[in-house]
Amino acid sequence: MSDHPLAGKSVLVTAGPTQEAMDPVRFISNHSSGKMGYAIARAAFVLGAKVHLLSGPVALAQPPYVSFESFTSALELEKLMLKEAPFFDYIIMAAAVGDYRAASIATEKIKKQGDTLTITFQKNPDILAELGKNKQPHQVICGFAMETENLLENAKEKLLKKNADMIIANSLKTAGAGFQGDTNIITMITKEAIEPIEKKSKEELGYLILRKCMKLEEHTC
Ligand code: PMT
C-alpha cells in the first residue's frame, strides 16, 4: 500500500472542549484535552491528506503542516463547520461539544446570592447531526460517543440519529480510555459491524480510525 494513501483527500478534524460562558468570568466546559483529535489530525497529515483542524481551548501545540482555526463555544464551532464541511472528504468530530449553553450570558459578573443559584440552559445545535443531514456522496462522516453507561447502545443510536458513517465509542468508566490520557479504548461502530479495539495510544488510534474511514469510502464508491 502507498505510504500516502490519503494523498488528494481532505480531512476536517475537530478537537477539544467547548466553553459556554455564563458571565464575563465563568463558563461550563468539560475535560477534553484535545489529544484524541490532534492525534487524528497528525495521522491524517502523515498519510498524505490536506488537513484542517478546528480546536477548542487546549494546552497543545498546533501541529505543523495542518491549517488551523480555533473555537470557544458550540455556536462558534457550528458556524465554522457549516462554512468548512462541504469542502472536505472526511469529517471527524472528536471535539467534546457542550449539549447546552446558558440561555443568556450575563453582561456583568453574577454576584453571590443565596445558598443556591439557578441558571437556565438552552440546547445547543447538534452539529454532527446537521452535517449528517447534509452529507454529500464523497464524504465519510465519523463522530465519537463519550458515555458513562450503555456505551454501545447509546453509540449505535447516535450512528443512526446523526446519519454518521461511523461512531467511535469510548467510555469514561474504563481505565485508560477517554479524556486527558495518552491512550484510549475504543469501539468502531458502523452500520455493518461493531469492532472493539484493545487499549492503544491515541496516536496509533488516529491511524486506525483513518484507515477505517478509507475502507468505508471504498464501500460507498
Ligand atoms: O480530548 P481528549 O482528552 O483526548 O479526549 C477525547 C474525547 C473523550 C473527548 C473523545 O474521544 C470523544 O469522545 N469526543 C466526543 C465527546 C462527545 O462530545 O461525545 P457525545 O457523545 O456528547 O457527542 C457525540 C458526537 O456528537 C461527538 O462526535 C460530538 O462531537 C458531536 N456533537 C455533540 C453535541 C453537539 N451539540 N454537537 C455535536 O456535533
Condensed to tens digits (0 to 9), the pLDDT of residues 1-31 reads 688 999 999 999 999 999 999 999 999 999 9
Span 108-127, average pLDDT: 96
Query: How many domains does the chain divide into?
Result: 1
For residue 208, which of 142, 155, 148, 164 has the smallest C-alpha distance? 142
Q: What is the pLDDT of residue 2?
A: 80
Q: What is the pLDDT of residue 96?
A: 98
Span 124-129, average pLDDT: 98
For 102, the enclosing helix (H) or strand (E) is strand 100-102
Banded model confidence at residue 110, pLDDT cuts 50, 70, 90: very high
Is-catalytic flag, 30? yes
Q: C-alpha cell of 16?
A: 477539544
Structural domain includes residue 3: no
Tell me what percent of the residues of the chain surpass a pLDDT of 90.
95
Structural domain includes residue 118: yes
Cα distance between residue 82 and residue 127, in whole Å: 9
Ligand 1 atom closest to residue 170's alpha carbon, by position in its atom list: 13
Span 72-78, average pLDDT: 98
ipTM score for this prediction: 0.99
Atom 31 (ligand 1) nearest CA:
128
Structural domain includes residue 90: yes
Q: What is the pLDDT of residue 3?
A: 86
Q: Does the Cβ of 148 fall within 6 Å of ligand 1? A: no
For CA atoms 62, 66, 68, 73, the dihedral sign is negative
For CA atoms 143, 57, 36, 140, the dihedral sign is positive
Atom 14 (ligand 1) nearest CA:
94
For residue 37, which of 15, 59, 11 has the smallest C-alpha distance? 15
Q: Does the Cβ of 143 fall within 6 Å of ligand 1? A: yes
pLDDT in tens, 147-189: 999 999 999 999 999 999 999 999 999 999 999 999 999 999 9
CATH of the domain at 142: 3.40.50.10300
Cα distance between residue 153 and residue 169, in whole Å: 10
Residue 67 has pLDDT above 70, yes or no: yes
Please count the residues of the chain: 221
Overall pTM > 0.80: yes
Structural domain includes residue 1: no
Q: Does the Cβ of 33 fall within 6 Å of ligand 1? A: yes
For residue 40, which of 218, 195, 213 has the smallest C-alpha distance? 213
Q: Does the Cβ of 178 fall within 6 Å of ligand 1? A: yes
The overall average pLDDT reported for the chain is 96
Where in the sequence is the domain holding 139, given as residue range(s)?
10-220
Structural domain includes residue 5: no
Ligand 1 atom closest to residue 96's alpha carbon, by position in its atom list: 18
Ligand 1 atom closest to residue 147's alpha carbon, by position in its atom list: 21
Least confident of 38-52, 69-83, 85-99, 207-221: 207-221
Q: What is the pLDDT of residue 221?
A: 55
Q: Does the Cβ of 171 fall within 6 Å of ligand 1? A: no
Structural domain includes residue 119: yes
Structural domain includes residue 178: yes
Structural domain includes residue 2: no
Ligand 1 mean position to 68 CA, how many Å? 19
